[in-house]
A and B are shown apart, each in its own frame.
Chain A
Amino acid sequence: MAETGKLEAKPVSFEDLIKWEKIKYEAPELTGKIETPCIKENASLSYKAQLYKGKDAIARLGYPTEGLIPNWKEKFLEKMDEMLKKYRSVRLFMDICVRCGACTNKCHYYLGTGDPNNMPVARAELMRKIYRRYFTPQGKLLGKKLTNSEDLTEEMLALWYTYFYQCSECRRCSVYCPYGIDTAEITMAAREIMNSIGIVQKYMHEIVDKAQYIGNNLGMIPDAVRNAIEFVETDLQEQTGLDIKIPIDQKGAEILFVTPSADFFASPHIESLYGYAKVFHQAGISWTMSTYASEGGNFGLFVHNYNNMKIINKRIWDASRELGVKRVVGGECGHMWRVLSSYSNTLNGPFDWLNPKYSIPQHICEFTLDLINKGALKLDKSANDEFTVTFHDSCQVARGMEMGGTASGQYEIPRAVIKACVNKFVDMPENTIKEKTFCCGAGQGLLGDDMLPIRVKGAMPRMQAVKVVKDSHGVNFLALICAICKAQMSKMFPTYGYPMEEVGGIHQLVSRAIVFGAKEGI
């Protein structure tokens, strides 16, 4: 047909440039070493995220629904200008990088793929090239050749879409940057700019929409949340023979407990929910979950969209006031902890009605450790003797603000809880834990099935570290405090040849070790 002939003669369309295709993947063989790879140009260029086609949801989120909008260049630059003015940090990060290269081999996606665009400096450079061209006097006057910048083209936009969705905003590179450039902020701003011109990623935005308008990432209506939690409660009572409750929407409770919805849906997440309930039961403190604030996770953070983040966070804020609680405790969730502890006050205002005697909010690990230290929780370590445990510091917790009011609480508190529950604990190599921890490889909107090839590559450094302690100490349990880490590692362990059952939550260990009885010390 004549039409087809015409189409073939056309240059590659933007849709083709960012088209998602199923790619076969396999895990590399583990050596226990994390080595800087040789540069492999375009090694992960074909790993794309799927675009979102849910027009109703995209409209609800306030983005264009027709795909890339016709006047996209103009809108792109308008939005970028807005971001540079609104987030002075982003502008600063555009200006101050000296290309020292300290970050180049710190990103798990670079280590896993060898693609130079996954070096944090090169990823950020994708934005800097546009910044220099359109937002600096020299770029505007002299054009791209003399200023090492780039024109805004569809090819450049395709590179943005590809590589800003191969960043999990884990901020490991920032730890090594002598200027403290937070590359995650650059990724977030880039994603928000792309959203504004109709380039909307599927996984994350479908979930943001569900969290905003239904109340949780899984899209469970309140009746479904109630049904799921009641099932867990019944199961727990049958297992223990005790009248352990998981209260829902109970006004006047002392504590509102918020946790990722995966904790009442997925495995091994549910095992930690058993643990939380047992701790609250043994402590004898009244608590409640909420069908309105039925999600701890806040994917608004991933796109840097202040409005999304605010609406999702407000559910927790509103529920805690409505229920009249005195404390808010958060379960095992990485970015929930970051948003709730670092952003909540500026998003929705302070939780004025909560009891200032306790951390606002309080992490479940801090809550549990406090009870252990007071002698109010009796734990039988031998219940976990079949395990040699190591702990993966989740990036959003490890490089978040703090935990328990101490500078390094986010490293020490989870480890202290584990050590109170098990006899055999060993840390992974020093350069892979605490502030230098590696991301699991699936954070910040990369947990979808569409991203499996890059997830496998990105998990490699963490898996190498796991291999080290498996070989040296026979580690057979990886303890986690993040729903995404749990889902990703449950997939990566079998992919790399280890049993899926070796992955679980810290409160899964607590759940096994807890001894019911005396309540002194509360």
Chain B
Amino acid sequence: MPAIECGGKIINVDDDGFLLNFDDWDENVACMIAEREGIQELTKERMDIIKFMREYYKHYISFPILGSVCKNIHQPKECVSEEFIDPLKAWKIAGLPRPGEEVVSYLRR
């Protein structure tokens, strides 16, 4: 099983690098995945997006409408694409499991 190491902790991920266990995530893990994904810095704007996605997933076990993410955290309408280019990267950095084929194919990226 693929894994990444973060601060001495071994974290299991799937073949595409998505975390397998929701609770393995913390901000250090986020920074590490961000680096792997080519996102230089997790600014406050980016972190707010990620934290909202985690909260949303906890309640609804699904991928939110991107517009609703931005509205809820009071950022511009296209904030996820502007901050991460590929919304799936935000999801991955948020430590959430691969959202499924249909979600992936319907995200504009």
Contact = CB atoms under 8 A, between A and B. Distances in A.
Interface of A: 202-203, 206-207, 210, 217-221, 223-224, 227-228, 231-232, 235, 261-262, 264-267, 269-270, 447-449, 483, 487, 490-491, 500
B66 interface: yes
A267 B61 contact: no
A231 B65 contact: yes
B60 A217 contact: no
A219 B104 CA distance: 12
Contacts of B105: 203, 447-449, 487
A210 B99 CA distance: 12
A232 B65 contact: yes
Interface residues of B, number: 21
B67 A235 contact: yes
A211 to B, nearest CB: 9
Interface string B32-55: 000000000000000000000000
Contact of A265 (B61, B101, B106): B106
B10 interface: no
Interface of B: 59-68, 71, 99-108
A219 B62 contact: yes
Residues of B contacting A: mostly? helix
A206 B101 contact: yes
A490 B81 CA distance: 15
A475 B106 CA distance: 24
B59 A265 contact: no
A463 to B, nearest CB: 18
Given A206-B101, A262-B106, 15 more contacts: A203-B105, A207-B102, A210-B102, A217-B102, A220-B60, A220-B62, A221-B61, A227-B60, A228-B65, A261-B102, A265-B106, A448-B101, A449-B105, A483-B106, A487-B106
A447 B101 CA distance: 9
B2 to A, nearest CB: 14
A267 B108 contact: yes
28 contacts: A207-B101, A210-B102, A217-B102, A218-B102, A218-B106, A219-B61, A219-B100, A219-B103, A223-B59, A223-B60, A224-B62, A227-B60, A227-B68, A228-B64, A228-B65, A228-B68, A235-B71, A261-B102, A265-B65, A265-B106, A266-B106, A267-B108, A269-B106, A270-B65, A449-B105, A487-B105, A487-B106, A491-B108
Given A235-B67, A265-B106, A210 B100 contact: yes
